Structure 1
Amino acid sequence: MEIKELTRAEEQVMQELWKLGKAFVKEIIEQLDEPKPAYNTVSTIIRILETKGFVSHESFGKSHRYFPKISKDTYKEFAASKLLSGYFDNSPRSMLSFFLQESKLNIRETDELLKLLEKAKKK
C-alpha cells in the first residue's frame, strides 16, 4: 500500500490516535490543544484518514471507535525518506549536518549521537 502525506490537521489527529491506540472522536478531541476543534471537523478528518488507509474502525451501534492501520514508525520512515529526498538530495550526511548545525545540541546529546554513529559504524 502506498503511503500518502498527511496534512497538518490529519497528522495532529493521527498523533493522538497513535498515543491512544483506539478512540472515539470525542476522546481524540479531549487530547487536542485549545481551542478544541468542532466534533464535525475531527469526524471529517477521521473519515479522510480512513479513505487514505491510515485508520479503520469498529462499530458500536451508531458510534465508531477508530484505530490506526499504519504505525507511527511506518509513517516516520515515510516522512524521513521524503525529507531526505526532498531537501537533502538523498544525502544522510547533509541532513545530519543540517540538524547538527541548526539544532544547537548540548554536550550530552552530541555524545549520544556520537555513540549511535560508532555503533552504526561497527555494523
Structure 2
Amino acid sequence: MKRLSEKEEALMHIIWRLKKAFAKEVREELPPPKPHINTVATTMKRLADKGYLKIEDFGSTYRYVPAISKRAYTNKFLRPLLASFFGSSIKNAVSFFAEEEEISLEELKEIVDIIEKKKRG
C-alpha cells in the first residue's frame, strides 16, 4: 500500500471523519476553491481502486466507506518517518518540535495528561 498524495489524504481525512460519504458530501467539506464534483468522484474511485475505500452501490450513485482506519494508515506511514528522522524515539520527536517552538507548554501538558490517563485506564 502506497502513501497517498496530499489531495487524496485530504479526502480520506474527510471520509474518516464522516465515517461514510457520497462524493457530493466530501466536496462540501473541502475548502474553496472547491474542485468540480467529477474530480472528487474520480479521486474517490481511485482511492477505492487502491484499496483505501469500499464502495456501496446505490444504483446511479456510490457511497464510500473507509477500508483502512485512520490509525492504521497513520501507523503505516508515520512510524517509518519517526524511525528515519528521530531514531524511533517519541522523546526525540517531541524535543525537536519543542526546540523549533512548534509545540507549546500547554500542548505538552495535554500529552502528559493523555499518557497518565492511559496508564490509569
TM (norm. structure 1) is 0.81
1:121 and 1:20 map into 2 onto residues whose CA distance is: 30
1:87 and 1:26 map into 2 onto residues whose CA distance is: 38
Task: Tell me the C-alpha RMSD between the 2 structures.
Answer: 2.3
Moved more, 52-61 or 72-81: 72-81
Matched residue, 1:107: 105
2:93 and 2:14 map into 1 onto residues whose CA distance is: 28
Residue 89 in structure 1 maps to residue 90 in structure 2: no
Any stretches of 5+ residues in structure 2 without a counterpart?
Answer: none
Name the amino acid aligned to 1:41.
T
The C-alpha deviation readout for 1:30-80, integer Å capped at 9, x for no partner, is: 110000011121112111111211101111112111110111111121232
Counterpart of 1:35 in 2: which secondary structure? coil
- How many pairs were matched up? 120
Any stretches of 5+ residues in structure 1 without a counterpart?
Answer: none
Which of 2, 5, 8 pairs up with 1:7?
5
Structure 1 residues 118 and 100 mapped into 2: Cα distance closer, same or farther (>3 Å)? Answer: farther
The C-alpha deviation readout for 1:15-42, integer Å capped at 9, x for no partner, is: 1111111111111101100000111211
2:24 and 2:115 map into 1 onto residues whose CA distance is: 43
1:29 and 1:68 map into 2 onto residues whose CA distance is: 16
Name the amino acid aligned to 1:93.
K
Name the amino acid aligned to 1:20.
L
Structure 1 residues 30 and 50 mapped into 2: Cα distance closer, same or farther (>3 Å)? Answer: same
Equivalent residues in 2 for 1:1-123 (5 A)?
3-115=1-113
Higher RCO structure, 1 or 2 (CA under 8 Å, sep 6+): 1
2:90 and 2:62 map into 1 onto residues whose CA distance is: 41
Identical columns (%): 39
2:62 and 2:112 map into 1 onto residues whose CA distance is: 46
1:16 and 1:61 map into 2 onto residues whose CA distance is: 23
